């Protein structure tokens, strides 16, 4: 068995990535990006609304305010994890 395994498409990982970028650019050239991603963005926001108000008892304005903070906390947590990973990579290469 070879360690250089390729999927059945015969493309390397970098070629698959390039093909995917090409397809994404072509799609966004034909369609409005906001329309294409509307359902995903709505689901992303609803995730945080459900997190802060699972029973749906809060007024809409308060649920949105809390969801915004939950989303900011999530993004900050991701940024912190990314910074730690970068630092670990830098320290590991010394």
User: DSSP letter string over the chain?
Assistant: --SS---TT---HHHHHHHHHHHHHHHHHHS-HHHHTHHHHHHHHHHHHHHH-TT--S-HHHHHHHHHHHHHHHHHHHHHHHHHHHHHHHHHT-
Is 63 part of a structural domain of the chain?
yes
Is 4 part of a structural domain of the chain?
no
Is 53 part of a structural domain of the chain?
yes
pLDDT per position as a tens digit, 48-78 = 999 999 999 999 999 999 999 999 999 999 9
Is 1 part of a structural domain of the chain?
no
Q: Supply the range of the domain harboring residue 86.
A: 13-92
pLDDT per position as a tens digit, 32-46 = 999 999 999 999 999
Look at residue 4 and tell me whether its pLDDT is greater than 60.
Answer: no
> Residue 1 has what pLDDT?
47
How many domains are contained in the chain? 1
In the Cβ-directed half-sphere of 91, how many Cα atoms lie within 13 Å? Answer: 6
> Residue 93 has what pLDDT?
83
pLDDT per position as a tens digit, 5-37 = 555 679 999 999 999 999 999 999 999 999 999
């Amino acid at each position: 068995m070879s360690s250089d395994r390729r999927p059945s498409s015969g493309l390397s990982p970098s070629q698959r990535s390039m093909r995917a970028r090409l397809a994404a650019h072509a799609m966004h050239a034909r369609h409005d990006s906001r329309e294409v991603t509307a359902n995903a963005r709505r689901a992303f926001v609803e995730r945080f609304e459900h997190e802060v108000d699972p029973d749906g008892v809060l007024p809409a304005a308060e649920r949105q305010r809390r969801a915004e903070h939950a989303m900011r906390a999530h993004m900050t947590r991701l940024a912190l994890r990314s910074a730690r990973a970068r630092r670990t990579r830098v320290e590991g290469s010394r």
